[in-house]
């Protein structure tokens, strides 16, 4: 159930343990989401706001992409005042799908 | 280049080494293709014809799914008379994307 924190609903999350492999694969099989995941992997936890990523999509599409990443257990978000900041759930996702994140992180961004 | 063998073009293949990770993930992120891959993993090489899989799609869609799997380096096909038979490229795909096939094969079909 979404809880209200200020003006918008707090983001809902799915733990990686509850994610089917098909959902995980589909979440990662998208070029924009791959950029988000790769940039998060190179950033400290909670240092990146949603608007800080260099992806060629509008605000609504970006919001959708983050919802997909949350639903696949890849990203955790929290609101800090007006900013929604992010963390890659690297350890938990790795425990659920060993090696999968490494596969997408080891490739060059054009691959 | 497609070569003619009898009445139809021989299938074209992509070696796993030439497959971007995004293509591999997208190929596996589909419930019908997951069934095909899982059934192939449980069958001997070249024992399964394209028509032998229990998937709820028509002939044209099935042909498309196999083309996607060939393009992702997951499946090799050859024509034996009227039958097109299949082999999962397990070793080559594993070498290119370590652990990825195991992730999708270890789950129950409903996951």
pLDDT digits (tens, 9 = 90+) for B61-98: 999 999 999 999 999 999 999 999 999 999 999 999 99
pLDDT band with cut points at 50, 70 and 90 for residue B8? confident
CA B39 to chain CA centroid, Å, is 10
Mean pLDDT confidence for B30-41? 97
Task: Give the number of A-B residue pairs with CB atoms closer than 8 Å.
Answer: 48
Residue whose structure tokens are 């034996």: B80
- The 10s digit of each residue's pLDDT in A25-70 is 999 999 999 999 999 999 999 999 999 999 999 999 999 999 999 9
**% residues pLDDT > 70 (chain A):** 90
**% residues pLDDT > 90 (chain A):** 86
Nearest CA in chain B to A111: B20
pLDDT score of A4 more than 60 = no
pLDDT band with cut points at 50, 70 and 90 for residue A107? confident
Residues of chain A with C-beta less than 8 angstroms from the C-beta of B25: 25, 28-29, 104
Reduce the DSSP state of residue B73 to 3 states and report it: coil
In chain B the first and final C-alpha atoms are separated, in Å, by 38
CATH numbers and ranges of domains, chain B:
16-106 (1.10.10.10)
Q: Rounded CA gap, A10 and A4, in Å?
A: 6
Nearest CA in chain B to A27: B29
Half-sphere exposure of B54 (CA within 13 A, CB side): 3
């Amino acid at each position: 159930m979404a809880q209200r924190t200020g003006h918008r609903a707090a983001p809902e999350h799915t733990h990686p343990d509850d994610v089917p492999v098909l959902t995980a694969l589909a979440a990662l099989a998208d070029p924009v989401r791959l950029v988000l995941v790769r940039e998060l992997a190179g950033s400290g936890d909670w240092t990146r706001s949603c608007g800080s990523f260099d992806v060629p999509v509008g605000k609504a599409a970006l919001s959708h992409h983050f919802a997909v990443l949350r639903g696949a257990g890849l990203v955790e978000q929290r609101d800090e005042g007006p900013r929604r900041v992010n963390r890659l759930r690297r350890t938990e996702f790795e425990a659920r799908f060993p090696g999968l994140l490494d596969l997408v992180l080891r490739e060059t961004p054009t691959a």
